[in-house]
Structure 1
């Protein structure tokens, strides 16, 4: 899971950037099972949370590099984000249910 913050005035443009650049990048890596980008608007700020599911740690390394906790950023992120959180969080899925 990754978290980032931008101003409300840039939130729609950042949403489009994530849809067009980041999500396809995640999905292009073998072993990526899913990507969800969550958005929460509050006052003058907008928070984004990216939640991805992977087959294995090796799949994550293929996307992010050897340091599994280091956040991966795109050059364009500097146009949007108010700061760069250095780390992501990893969790092991212990229960999951699909609709239907």
Structure 2
């Protein structure tokens, strides 16, 4: 199993709009692009005062599935245009980790 971790931030006033965009458009679009090997997508949210931080963790069954999603520049962030309009800032690169243990 592989985890792809990415971070982005919105202004506090945009946080709910961004979360709704993720749920209604971005995540379904990812699912359509990567139907096999993507086990799940987790969304984490944290209030940081004037900003709200978001972390997405995408869980892939194997390296082949991760590479099918990530493409030739495997760690480049996937940030659709609609998300770029809402985000205040974001990581240009995602981090990939080999999962060594899961408890549960």
TM-score (norm 2): 0.86
1:48-67 mapped onto 2 (5 Å cutoff):
48-67=54-73
Structure 1 unmatched ranges of 5 or more: none
Q: Compute the displacement of 1:69 (Å).
A: 1.1
Q: Compute the displacement of 1:22 (Å).
A: 1.8
Contact 2:7–2:90 (Cα < 8 Å) also in 1 = no
Greater RCO (Cα-Cα under 8 Å, separation 6 or more): 2
Match of 1:9 in 2: 13
Residues 48-74 of structure 1, C-alpha deviation per residue, up to 9 Å, x if partnerless? 000011022221222221111111110
Q: CA RMSD in A?
A: 1.3
Q: Which runs of 4+ in 1 moved over 3 A?
A: none
Residues 14-59 of structure 1, C-alpha deviation per residue, up to 9 Å, x if partnerless? 0000011122223331110110010001211000000011022221
TM-score (norm 1): 0.89
Structure 2 unmatched ranges of 5 or more: none
- Kindly tell me the number of residue pairs found equivalent between the two proteins: 98
Local SS of the residue matching 1:33 = strand
Identify if the C-alpha distance between structure 1 residues 70 and 61 changes in structure 2 by more than 3 Å, giving closer, same or farther: same
* Corresponding position: 1:24 with 2:12: no
Local SS of the residue matching 1:91 = strand
